[in-house]
Amino acid sequence: MSAQAIADEKTIADEDVVDVYGERVAVPGLSGWLRTVEERGYVVIPDWLDAERTRRLREDLRRDVNPVRELLPPHRTTVRAHNLLAKTRCVDDLVCDPRMLALIQGVLRDRVQVSAAVLFDLLPGAEAQPLHQDDSIWPIPRPHRPFLMNTVIAVEDFTKANGATRLVPYSHLWHDQKVRQPPAVETVQIEMKAGSLVGWTGAMWHGGGANTTQESRMAVNLNFNLAFLRQQENQYIGVPREEVAKMPQRLQRVLGYQGGYSAAGPGMVDLRDPLLMIDKIRFGYDVNGAGMPKLDSKPAGRAEAPRRADE
C-alpha cells in the first residue's frame, strides 16, 4: 500500500508520519527502519514492490536499458547502466516514492537529492566485488555525519549463489578503520525476493557477491545524498532538459532542481527557485524583464525541511 493511500489512517504511529516535499505522508514501519539503519547500518524491507510492479520493472528495463548497457572490463560479466533517468521513465516512481524519500530523509536528516540511478546486472561467472564505502568518493575526513544513503531494489531474486550483496554489519561506525577484505572481516549476504529493498548508509563496507549460477541477477541501485553536495552522476548534464520537463515536480526537485533553506542557499538562480527559472535563462538575460519571477515568489510544492523521525 502506498504512503498516500494510508495517509488518513488513524492507527499510524506519530513517528511514522513525516513531511515529504510539502506533503504529509504516513509510512508504517518507518521509525523501525530508521532505528535499524542507525544501529547496524542497513535495513532489508521485503515486498517494497508488489509482484506486478516488479514484473513491469523487469520488462521495462530489459526493453529500455539493456540495449544501451555496458559490460565492465576486464571480465565483462558485470553489467552497469548509469544515468537511468535519461534512458527510461520506468524508474521515476521509484526515485520519488514518498516511502523512499521518507527513509532517505530520516537517515540523512536534511534535504536530499538523487545522486545516482543505476542498473546492475551480474551475469553468470561474475566475480565478487571488493568491499568498499560509497561515501569515500567525497574527500570528507571521518568521522562525519551520514551524507549518503544507498538503496538497492531486487528486480530478480537475490541468493548467495547468484551474487547477493555482501555487507559488514556495524562497519558504518568504524570511522578509524580502513576497509578490509574477507577473510579478514566477516560479511553477511542479503538474500531477498524480487521486489525487496535493502538500504545502507554510505559508510557501510559492502560489495556485490559472485554469481556462480547460469542466470543473471538484475537490480536497480538508487543512491541519495545531501542536497548541498555534488551528485555522483551529473544530473543536470546527464538528463536532457526535455526529459526533465516530463517529470512530476517532486522528481524534478529530487533530481536537484531545488533551492536551499533560504533564498541565497545552494541551488538558487538569481535568489529565485530554480524551477521557476529553468526556461527563462538566455545569455545576457534581464532578471527584471517581463515574465521573470519576483524575488518574493513562493512556488507551490516547494520542499520544506523534513521533520526528524525522532522529533
In tens, the pLDDT along 66-75 reads 888 888 888 8
Residue 116 lies in a domain: yes
Q: Which grid cell sits at 159?
A: 541468493
Give the CATH number, domain containing residue 85.
Answer: 2.60.120.620
pLDDT of residue 70: 83
Chain segment 227-266, per-residue pLDDT in tens:
999 999 999 999 999 999 999 999 999 999 998 778 888 8
Mean pLDDT across 262-272: 88
Single pTM value for the model: 0.90
Domain that holds residue 170: 31-254
Residue 274 falls within a domain, yes or no? no
Determine the average pLDDT of the residues in 89-113: 96
Q: Is residue 7 part of a domain?
A: no
Task: Give residue-wise pLDDT tens across range 6-31.
Answer: 445 557 888 999 999 889 999 999 99
Q: Does any domain span residue 176?
A: yes
Confidence label for 307 from pLDDT (cuts 50, 70 and 90): very low
Q: Quick check: 89 and 245 in contact, CB under 8 A? A: no
CA atoms of 121 and 70, how far apart (whole Å) = 10
- Stretch (H or E) spanning 19: strand 17-20
Which among 197, 193, 210 has a CA at the least distance from the CA of 42?
197
Q: Is residue 311 part of a domain?
A: no
Is residue 295 included in any domain, yes or no? no
Task: Indicate if the alpha-carbon torsion angle 50, 92, 254, 229 is positive or negative.
Answer: positive
Please report the pLDDT score of residue 1 as a whole number.
Answer: 42
What is the structure's pLDDT at 302? 43
Q: Band the pLDDT of 309: cuts 50, 70, 90.
A: very low
The domain tally of the chain equals 1
